[in-house]
Chains A and B, each alone.
Chain A
Amino acid sequence: MVAGKRKKQPIVTNDSDHIVTESAARIFADLADPQTINRLDDGAWRAPFWLALADAGLPLAWVPEQLGGAGASLADGFAVLGVAGRFAVAVPLAETLLAGWLLTRAGVAAADGPMTIAPSRPSDRIIFHADGTLSGSAIGIPFASEAQHIAVLVHGGEGIVVALVAASDCMVGEGQTLAGDPSNIVRFERVKPLRYARAPFGLDHTALMLMGSVSRSVQTAGALESILSLSVSYANERIAFERPIGKFQAVQHNLARLAGETAAALAVSGSAANTITQSDSFDEAAFLEGASAKIRCAEAATEGSAIAHQVFGAIGFTKEHVLHRFTLRTLAWRDDFGSENYWAAELGRRVAKGGAEEFWPMVASR
């Protein structure tokens, strides 16, 4: 028997000015509380949860009303993703938001129900044929096996196209992330899209990777907030050597480091989301901000998860404890839309190409 507290712990979700985030938090807490669903063996909670999200207009928040969505701002959508991170939400909410955003940018009407996007790795390309079908394969597509539709960024002879395809028209493989969420290889073989349109100027593969990376960064920062909150609560409750372990300086310093990683993730992801909110033209500023967010949040996930597990000891890496729902997701998200290694190499090449004289002005411009 492993010693340790097992009581339900509150997760901080306060201080939001936005009605959108408040209603999102209420739905997450009511229908997808991490403690509660961690105890359930089946996925019966999923359907009512998704229905409630859809009723609140959250999955299609980034789709304007005339295209069937809720028409929320980019800022509101990112705020929802932050709250979703705090609850380690395990349905394709971020993916559907991103799909809606991608389709909308090209003026393609979104579909109801769960969606995802492809590609989600920097090296994958889907090709558009002259006959209007598309081919190619994409690995690590999040929630592809649960999605009804996939928004695809396609490279055609005359430029980039955004297409909506039915998931049932594609070959979707098995696979899951560290956290057990679906992550599938998707093969498109002469798939005929339901609808498609030319992408607007500036919406390219890099733009999609950046938008996905910033979304994952915002989710990671939210999850780290909960990881920090859970860890501090546990350190204040768990008694060892006749006092709460949080009274030991070694534990305090570990938690201070965790707070530092959380703070860095919050600041840099918030900055990147703010940048895209101000202008979604995916220029040099967005590249610095988005790449930096993904790099630093992935580093924070690695460091922060390790610290939290150290604080919790044995109970923290059991199936029944809720911690893994947060830590494993932050670790899995590192690989989506370009890993920290990928973005660091890309960012490093850009800075090197610009040379020493352009380096500081670039940093100072943000």
Chain B
Amino acid sequence: MSRKLQFDQIRLPPTCDALRQEVRAFLAEEIAKGTFDPHRPGHGDSHDRAFSKRIGAKGWIGMTWPKEYGGHERSFLERYVVTEEFRVANAPVRSHFVADRQSGPILLKYAPEHVKADILPRICRGELCFVIGMSEPGSGSDLFAAKTKATKVDKGWRINGSKIWTSNANIADYMIALCRTSPPTNANRRHGLTQFLLDMKTRGIKVNPIYQMSGQHDFNEVVFEDAFVSDDHVLGEIDGAWKQATSELAYERSGPERFLETFYLMLELVRAIGPEPDTRSAEGLGRLVAQLHTLRRMSVSVAGMLQAGKEPVVEAAIVKDLGTIWEQKLPNRVRELTAFAPPEIANRVTLDEQLAFATTIAPKLTIQGGTTEILRGIIARGLGLR
């Protein structure tokens, strides 16, 4: 084994307590206003641009980014608190979350100065929605098989091809797209891909909806026909995107959103079994609580290690592997543990609605953002098996 597994004992600093109370008060107010219903499933994964702007006004988007770009220079642990409170409340964050977690940090690192100055403050104000353009009909987990082609033209590039499974493409303002700019070499099959920042209003970009079995529409197919992108919207090194694509993944993988998307099920389980549960229900609940506490402690630890400049790549992959499998199994565990609850329990309708929804979205949890199989490959490499 190349090195030992490490989980530093990170506790959220006291400054996080006040922030957490502030976030809870804000969410309670929004719930009271009717912005969203914490019990209705699906909200945590839906979008509400006006709500995102109010979150931005609170300073809770781009929290860790430099102030000169509209950020707030707060710690990753403070961002962690905000992220988990929004997920637990089942609040609609889809409009800004991708930009906050992934796209913004990529722009910060690789976009030209004037692009950063233009776009990052707008992300922080909750005005912009981003979409990730990675998967294609012929390349999913095998990212480096991407075929969408960017051809050099005067002052920019012409893009042709298609991206698929693009969440938010139907509502997004910008896409960060992975495109082929050169063929792969024999020495490096990852060579030849470049990241571009695309304005979704660009002529030649067409978005076709793909509906999921849950009834949701967030997937889309995005077709590019001679879509033009200017040279200053190239992100990072031409042909060298493979060096960039993995740098922020530890944050993306290990966050609390990886196991808290359907947290409402846990709350409804507690309501369903009541204050004096039988042994079977109590034991089942206790195990879930212990497993959730463990995942959260691991996730906080990774956030703290990243904040401290460490690179817990394997630990982050483990958090996502364990977290997503735990959450994927959650609907059926809750179904089993409430199987003998009296039919007249007050929250039966809510519970059934949540179970139905969570069961239909459960398969995506171990696929989006790195499949179980890909994660285990990363862990195996970290163990020194590859």
Chain A residues near B (Cβ < 8 Å): 12, 14-15, 225, 228-229, 232-233, 235-236, 246-247, 249, 251-253, 255-257, 259-260, 262-264, 266-268, 270-271, 274, 288-289, 291-293, 295-296, 299, 340-341, 343-349, 351-353, 355-356, 359-360, 363-364, 366
Give Cα A295–Cα B315 distance, bound, in whole angstroms: 21
Q: Smallest CB–CB gap between B103 and chain A, Å? A: 27
Does B207 belong to the interface (CB within 8 Å)?
A: no
26 A-B residue pairs with Cβ-Cβ distance under 8 Å, sorted by A, are A14-B4, A225-B4, A228-B5, A236-B385, A252-B386, A256-B379, A262-B5, A263-B318, A268-B290, A288-B293, A291-B290, A292-B290, A293-B290, A341-B283, A344-B285, A344-B286, A346-B282, A346-B286, A348-B289, A352-B275, A352-B285, A355-B275, A360-B267, A363-B293, A366-B11, A366-B297
List, in ascending order, chain A residues with CB within 8 A of B322's CB.
Answer: 260, 263-264
Query: Which of A236, A249, A260, A340 meets B384, CB within 8 Å?
Result: A236
B290 touching A259 by the CB < 8 A rule? no
Residues of A within 8 A of B279 (CB): 345
Nearest neighbor of A274 in chain B, beta-carbon distance: B9
CA distance A267 to B321 in the complex (A): 15
CB-CB nearest 9 A-B residue pairs:
A348-B286, A344-B286, A348-B282, A347-B286, A348-B285, A256-B376, A252-B380, A295-B290, A292-B290
Which A residue's beta carbon lies closest to that of B321? A260
Cβ-defined contact, B297 with A271, below 8 A: yes
- Main SS at interface, chain B: helix
Give, as a whole number of angstroms, the nearest-CB distance from B316 to chain A.
11
Task: Answer whether A259 and B5 are a contact pair too, CB < 8 Å, given A252-B377, A292-B293.
Answer: yes
CB distance from B106 to the nearest CB of A (A): 27
Distance in Å: Cβ of A348 to nearest Cβ of chain B: 3
A344 to B266, CA, bound (A): 15
Most buried by A among B276, B289, B301: B289
The answer to whether B270 and A255 touch across the interface, beta carbons within 8 angstroms, is no
Inter-chain CA distance A257–B276, complex, in Å, is 35
Chain B's interface size range is: 35 or more
Contact residues of B between 17 and 45, Cβ < 8 Å to A = 20
Q: Which of B4, B5, B270 has a CB less than 8 Å from the CB of A352?
A: B270
Task: Flag if A267 contacts B294 (CB, 8 Å).
Answer: yes
A277 to chain B, nearest CB (A): 9
Residue of B nearest to A288 (CB): B293
Chain B residues within an 8 Å CB radius of A291: 286, 290
The answer, among B267, B283, B284, for a CB contact under 8 Å with A356, is B267
Residues of chain B lying within 8 A (CB to CB) of residue A353: 275-276
- With a cutoff of 8 Å between Cβ atoms, the chain A residues found around residue B266 in the complex are 359
Contacts between the two chains (Cβ within 8 Å), count: 176
Give A344 to B84 CA distance when docked, in angstroms: 24
Residue of A nearest to B266 (CB): A359
Q: Is B119 an interface position by the 8 A CB rule?
A: no
Could you say which residues of chain B place their CB within 8 Å of the CB of A267?
7, 294, 297-298, 301
Tell whether, in the assembled complex, residue A363 and residue B292 are in contact, meaning their CB atoms are under 8 Å apart.
Answer: yes
Residues A259 and B293 in contact, CB atoms below 8 Å apart? no
Report A213 CB to chain B, min CB distance, Å. 11
Contact (A268, B293) CB under 8 Å given A252-B376, A253-B373 = yes
Confirm or deny: B145 has a beta carbon within 8 angstroms of a beta carbon on chain A.
Answer: no
Q: With A and B bound together, what is the CA distance between A247 and B384 in angstroms?
A: 10
Tell me the chain B residues, 280-319 only, with Cβ under 8 Å from chain A: 281-287, 289-298, 301, 314-315, 318
Select from chain B the residue with minimum beta-carbon distance to A245.
Answer: B385
Interchain CA distance A341-B285 in the complex, whole Å: 11
Given contacts A259-B383, A263-B322, A348-B287, 17 further A-B contacts (CB under 8 A): A12-B4, A246-B385, A256-B375, A263-B315, A266-B5, A267-B301, A270-B9, A293-B290, A296-B293, A346-B286, A347-B285, A349-B276, A352-B274, A352-B277, A355-B270, A363-B289, A366-B296
B1–A229 touching, CB < 8 Å = yes
Q: How distant is B81 from chain A, measured CB to nearest CB, in Å?
A: 8
Are A356 and B384 in contact (CB-based, < 8 A)? no
Interface contact B297-A351, CB-CB below 8 Å? no
Chain A residues with CB under 8 A of B5? 225, 228, 259, 262-263, 266
Contact of A351 among B276, B285, B385 (CB under 8 A): B285
A344's partner among B4, B283, B298 (CB-CB below 8 A) is: B283
Contact of B277 among A236, A262, A349 (CB under 8 A): A349
Partner pick for B276 among A346, A352, A363, A364, CB 8 A cutoff:
A352
> Which residues in B have their C-beta under 8 angstroms from that of A349?
276-277, 282, 286
